[in-house]
Amino acid sequence: MVIKIGLKSLPPFLSLGIRFFVAFLFLFLYIRIKKIEFPKGIRDHLFFLVFGMINFTGGYAFVYWAEQYIASGLTSVLFSIMPFYVLILSWRLLPQDRINWKKFVGVCFGFVGLLVIFRDQLYLNSMDRNVIYGMVAVLIAPMFSATGTIMGKKATIRMNPFVLNTLPLLYSSLFFLMLSLMVERNTHPVFDASAIFSIIYLGLLGTAVAFVMYFWMLKNTSAIMMSMITYVTPPLALIWGWVILDENISSLLVIGLLFIFSGIYIVRKW
């Protein structure tokens, strides 16, 4: 939702570049204050570059571009196929994460819950070319995020989660800023209150804090379990809308949450 707000004032790649640079600055300052050591080897920095390009650049470029044309609710549902990608990649790349039919059933339960919650937002008013391309883009994005989750899972064995995110965010930020200079020259960015709120909120809470917590938790649980966060965040947004904006909550939200948490329980149990 906040991505959608920001895109009303800023083009997608510029918005992403600034967002990730804000997140980088926050994490870099924290690391300097805490005197946490960065790895100095060339192989580590090559890893940071590749990890940033996959987890942040690939994972977000498609979503930001797509949300110019499709609703945030539809985006949430399409992006939530990420746990299925993680299931497949874990089977090949994380043999220590046992994959079985019960985990598959749990992932399916969560996906059904999201379909129930956003049922009313899955209808499209138009099927023009940009809408179709936007839907395809959001289906591609989770492949990058799933791969980043697998890479991060392996890296957390030897890396502090603050270190794991800081330089990849810098590299992704620079990439998006350069990309914006090349392809968004004719746009007219406006740094109004909506744009500033979007950048600060997404940079600090939605990126810096969120990803450090994500990879810290990933160290102690399975990649499949962590990937199911994509099922939890959209209904939580609806709950915040009820708490803060006095928006109505339908019975579909309650039913959908029952499916989602049942799916999480099944994955966590087995």
Question: Domain residues of the chain, as ranges?
Answer: 2-100+126-220
The whole-angstrom separation of Cα 165 and Cα 159 is 10
Q: What is the phi-psi region of residue 10: left when phi exceeds 0, alpha when psi lies from -120 to 50, beta otherwise?
A: beta
Question: For 157-185, what is the mean pLDDT?
Answer: 93
- Specify the pLDDT at position 244: 66
Average pLDDT of the chain, as a whole number: 85
- Specify the pLDDT at position 108: 86
- Crossing angle, helix 42-51 and helix 129-155, to 10 degrees? 150
Task: Check if the beta carbon of residue 59 is closer than 8 Å to that of residue 3.
Answer: no
Q: Between these two residues, 180 and 220, which has the higher pLDDT value?
A: 180
* Six token digits for residue 2: 């906040």
**Is pLDDT at 188 greater than 60 in this prediction?**
yes
**pTM of the predicted structure, to 2 decimals:** 0.81
**Is pLDDT at 26 greater than 80 in this prediction?**
yes
The whole-angstrom separation of Cα 180 and Cα 159 is 31
